[in-house]
Structure formats: structure tokens, C-alpha cells
Amino acid sequence: MILSMTGYGKAVVAYKEKKINVEVKSLNSKSLDLSARIAPLYREKEMEIRRMLAQKLERGKVDFSLWVEKEATIDATPINAALVENYYRQIKVIADNTGIPEPENWFATLLRLPDVTTKTEVEVLDEEEWDVAQQAINDAVEKLIDFRKQEGAALQKKFTEKIDNIAELLKSIEPFEKGRVPKIKDKIIDGLKQIPEVDYDKNRLEQELIYYIEKLDINEEKQRLANHLKYFRETMKESGHGVGKKLGFIAQEMGREINTTGSKSNQAEMQNIVVKMKDELEQIKEQVLNAL
């Protein structure tokens, strides 16, 4: 079964007054190219997160994001009331002793003073919260894998269509191939007849014709191409690692046989068929880059 490298998954889980959000996106790439944006609280787990993603996603240009939303009442920085009162009393005493006028806007003045709105508590990631975060990561990755399966099924359908087209085109070469040997022979003999003063050895001519026709024979290329088409179909049904890379290698071999067939085809009809096969194969090569 083919998996695409294109995918998307998102998961949101609740933990106390938080919402833990995870988003994973992937596109095609020759290897795993992982970019991670992780909320500060979870950065200590970055290497573990990367290992999880590498194990499950294998290949692709992967963008991973993990962020937290908190309730506004919880996330607001608290005001240190005791410190505000202390500052207020000190300023009152100084104003009374020096005659300096008291501030017109007490709150504006007091809230600008050091440490009045400083958040001093340090968040620590506990195991319970990390378990919940891992659940969100796993859920998002599973959704991405489901997306990859759907895209992979579409790829497999497309590949099957293109392979069928190439197989049909390969069969359509046969009528032209059978008739071209007599045509080649007749054309050479007619050419020699146009030069009456030239005497030639008929036995030697037959030998040369056989040699020339053997060089134009495409039976081996046809057989190898048919084998590659069969192997491509079988590989699409495989599960496991590297199916996309294997399909890419098979497509390259198919291209070699089609190109050789084209170079040996000395009839316009055959060359037109070869061009059509190349077009079908090119579409396979473009899409196989998305296969995992």
C-alpha cells in the first residue's frame, strides 16, 4: 500500500486550565526534514518528540508545532498588593517630609514601580501533564498518517491508470513492428536497383540485412519493459519502508527501455507511440516524488 508524504494532523487536549494544541504538517522530501516549534515548558522534551516523529513519519518535510492556551484569569500576571501598599506608605512619608506633591494618579505611578507586576512563579512540567501532551502529539500524528493513507490511495489509482496506458501503448507497437522488416528489406533492394551498374553479392546482402535488422530489434526492450510494469504493480501492493523510493528506481528503468525502443524505432508511427509512453511515464515520475 502506498502512503503519500503529504499530510496534516491537529489535536487539542485539555489539562486543568490549559488547552494543549499540536499541529503536524508534511510535504515531500528525500529524507526527514523536521522543523519544530515547541512551547517553552515542553522544550526539555524536544529530543524525545523528534524521536517519536522520526519513528512514525520516516520521510518528508515536517513542520511540528506545540503551543498552549490558558484561561485569561489564570494567565494574567498578579499584582503584588502588599508591595503596592508598602510603596504607597513610603511615598506618603516622603511627600509629608519634603513637601513634594503627591502623585495625581496613584495607580499609574505605583504600577510602574519595580516588581509590582513581576510574575515570580516558575512552571515545571510534571509527568501527568507530559502524558497528556504526548496523547495530543500521538493523536495529531495518527491523523496525519490517516491523511497520508488517503492521499496514497489516490496516488495508487493514478499510477495504475498510467501503467495500464503504457502497457496498452506497448501492445500497439506490435503491428508496426511486424511489417517494418519487409519494408526495410524492400527499400534497400529498391535503392540498389536504382544503380544498375552496381553489382552486389546477394548472400552478403542477406547477411548485412540480418545484422542491420537485429540492431533494430526491440523484442528484448519490450520484454524488459513488460517486466518493469509488472514489478511496479507488485511493489505498489507492498507495505513497509521505502516503497516510494523503490517505485522511483523502477520508473527510471522503465524510462531506459522506452528510450532505447524510441532510438530503434525507424517508423513515424512507432516513434509517436514512444512519445506517448514517455508522457505517461513522466507523469508517474512527477507523482512518485510524493510517495513515502
pLDDT at 81: 79
What is the CB neighbour count within 10 angstroms for residue 122? 5
Q: Residues 127-183: pLDDT tens digits?
A: 999 999 999 999 999 999 999 999 999 999 999 999 999 999 999 988 877 766 666
What are 265's strand-pairing partners?
Answer: none
Query: For residue 33, what pLDDT is reported?
Result: 93
For residue 113, the model assigns a pLDDT of 78
pLDDT at 156: 93
Query: What does the pLDDT average to over 261-269?
Result: 81
Domain residues of the chain, as ranges?
7-74+128-147, 78-111, 151-288
Burial 270-283 (b: 16+ CB within 10 A, else e): beebbeebbebbee
For 17-52, what is each residue's pLDDT tens digit?
A: 889 999 999 999 888 999 999 998 899 999 999 999
In this prediction, residue 135 carries a pLDDT of 94
pTM of the model: 0.71
Confidence of residue 267 (pLDDT cuts 50, 70, 90): confident
Q: What is the pLDDT of residue 17?
A: 83
pLDDT of residue 161: 95
> Is residue 94's pLDDT more than 60?
yes
User: Which of the four CATH numbers 1.10.3470, 3.30.450, 3.30.230, 2.60.40 does domain 7-74+128-147 have?
Assistant: 3.30.230
Distance CA 265, CA 127 (A): 70
| Beta-bridge partners for 34 | 62
pLDDT for the residue numbered 228: 95
Tell me the C-alpha distance between 277 and 173, whole Å.
Answer: 11
Dist. CA 83–CA 115, nearest whole Å? 8
Nearest to 258 by CA among 241, 243, 273: 273
- Mean per-residue pLDDT, 244-261: 92
Q: What's the chain look like in SS3? A: CCCECCEEEEEEEEECCEEEEEEEEEECCCCEEEEEEECHHHHHHHHHHHHHHHHHHCCEEEEEEEEEEECHHHHCCCCCHHHHHHHHHHHHHHHHHHCCCCCCCHHHHHHCCCCCCCCCCCCCCCHHHHHHHHHHHHHHHHHHHHHHHHHHHHHHHHHHHHHHHHHHHHHHCHHHHHHHHHHHHHHHHHHHHCCCCCCCCHHHHHHHHHHHHHHHCCHHHHHHHHHHHHHHHHHHCCCCCCHHHHHHHHHHHHHHHHHHHHHHCCCHHHHHHHHHHHHHHHHHHHHHCCEC
For 54-92, what is each residue's pLDDT tens digit?
Answer: 999 988 999 999 999 876 555 566 777 787 788 888 888
Over the stretch 202-232, which tens digit does the pLDDT of each residue have? Answer: 666 666 666 666 667 788 888 999 999 999 9
